[in-house]
Amino acid sequence: MKTCLSTVALAITLTGCATPNLQGVLPLETEVQQARNAITYRSVPPPRNLRSEQLQSTLDRVVERIRTPAYEACQAMQAQDCQLALNPITLVDDDEINAYVDVENRVSVHTGLVRRAANDEEIAAVLAHEYGHIFAGHIGKSGRNTSVGMLIGAAIGLVAASQGYDPNGDLTASLLETGYNAGSLAYSPEFELEADYYAALILDKAEIDLGHGRDVLLRLAKTSQGRDATGSWGQRAQLMATTHPADDWRIARWMGVSQSIENSRVASPTMDEEALVAIAVSDILNEPLFPNKVSRWVNPENGRSGMTILSHVNRQPECDQVCVVYSNTIYTQDDSQGGVHEVCKFGDGEWNDPISFGQSWKVLFGGCLNPEMTSSD
């Protein structure tokens, strides 16, 4: 029986192995450490504790500010259901701190969230995240995953029944529930990261500092750890902290995307994508050269992003030559493209590719590159 159940358990694991394509650039290790420290030590603004008569007007003001940028960001990214950004958002009279999208792709916000957010911008960050779930089609995907989970749970139940267990008993019911949860939760971490990426692009288009989104994620992380004295939203946000879990990786990813958007705007105000790629490559080829050196960019105009990573450096100081191997990847809404490249230079010359990939390593290990060959190709 153990063998059979293990086989079905493997099926559960495999249903959750999809690789998402729209989460933005990867964070740096330093950002993960910064996020870890921020969860423990960084303070966040105190809640406003608005009066009841202020709640609806506050939500209306935020929706007016975020609705059009959300629609425009969705259109620019060629996402789905963009027109839903123009629909009303419902204020639910509930003191729990929460916001969600229902099965009809309608956004609802609890009065508890509007009351206890530190500012309008934090509410905007939450709304932008919920819009992200809609634009990425997560509601339909969640339904399909749940159905798959229920089928897996049923399969587990049949296996259990075939081994002499009561199909209506507690064990079978527990296994069915396990399958249901496996289906409904299989993609939730990826969904959160994808919705975050949409949210970052929406906030940027609305000219809202992305630091407010980071503060919301910090509140959720602190809430899940019970850090009431350091910025937690407290017991009233436990449900939201469970359904929107935030950890050091998620916060670091937000920080990485935020920094990459800022760097891209400085590097190329016109968002010339060829220029962004060229600048990223130039950044990693500048001294100092070291393995795993990274340069990232995000184009907030269309949601595309990219990373350039220097993977290997080979120097021959006595000949004043160096060759490096780097990978260059561009992430689109539904795929990624890129490749591995090798470039070399002699002395203070320009980076170039004097010999086809792989051949120059043989030359280097056998001696120095011919300066005349380097300058002529």
- Residue 351: pLDDT band (50, 70, 90) is confident
The CA distance from 333 to 161, in Å, is 44
**For residue 279, what pLDDT is reported?**
96
Contacts of 190 (CB under 8 A, 6+ apart): 18, 20, 23
- CB of 50 closer than 8 Å to CB of 114: yes
> In 3D, which of 110, 109, 107 has the Cα closest to residue 96?
110
pTM of the model: 0.78
Quick one: how far is CA 194 from the chain centroid? 5
- The pLDDT of 78-82, averaged and rounded, is 92
Quick one: how far is CA 250 from the chain centroid? 7
Residue 313 dihedral angles phi and psi, to the nearest 5°: -125, 130
- CB of 196 closer than 8 Å to CB of 254: yes
319 versus 20: the higher-pLDDT residue is 319
With a cut of 80, say whether residue 271 has pLDDT above it.
yes
Q: How many helices (H) and strands (E) does the chain have?
A: 14, 7
- CB of 253 closer than 8 Å to CB of 305: no
At 305, is the secondary structure helix, strand, or coil?
A: strand
With a cut of 80, say whether residue 17 has pLDDT above it.
no
At 267, is the secondary structure helix, strand, or coil?
A: helix
231 vs 31, 222, 234, 246, CA distance in Å? 20, 7, 8, 14
Tens-place pLDDT, residues 48-74: 999 999 999 999 999 999 999 999 999
**For residue 242, what pLDDT is reported?**
84
Tens-place pLDDT, residues 82-126: 999 999 999 999 999 999 999 899 999 999 999 999 999 999 999
With a cut of 70, say whether residue 165 has pLDDT above it.
no
At 27, is the secondary structure helix, strand, or coil?
A: coil
347 versus 101: the higher-pLDDT residue is 101
- Residue 164: pLDDT band (50, 70, 90) is low
**For residue 162, what pLDDT is reported?**
53
With a cut of 70, say whether residue 5 has pLDDT above it.
no
Give me the half-sphere count of Cα atoms (radius 13 Å) on the Cβ side of residue 173. Answer: 3
DSSP at 80: S
At 64, is the secondary structure helix, strand, or coil?
A: helix
- The pLDDT of 272-296, averaged and rounded, is 95
Tens-place pLDDT, residues 211-259: 999 999 999 999 988 755 567 888 888 888 888 889 999 999 999 999 9
Tens-place pLDDT, residues 119-155: 999 999 999 999 999 999 988 776 544 444 444 444 4
Tens-place pLDDT, residues 166-206: 545 554 454 444 443 433 333 378 899 999 999 999 999 99
33 versus 355: the higher-pLDDT residue is 33
- Residue 346: pLDDT band (50, 70, 90) is confident
**For residue 284, what pLDDT is reported?**
95
- The pLDDT of 271-291, averaged and rounded, is 94
- Residue 342: pLDDT band (50, 70, 90) is confident
**For residue 166, what pLDDT is reported?**
52
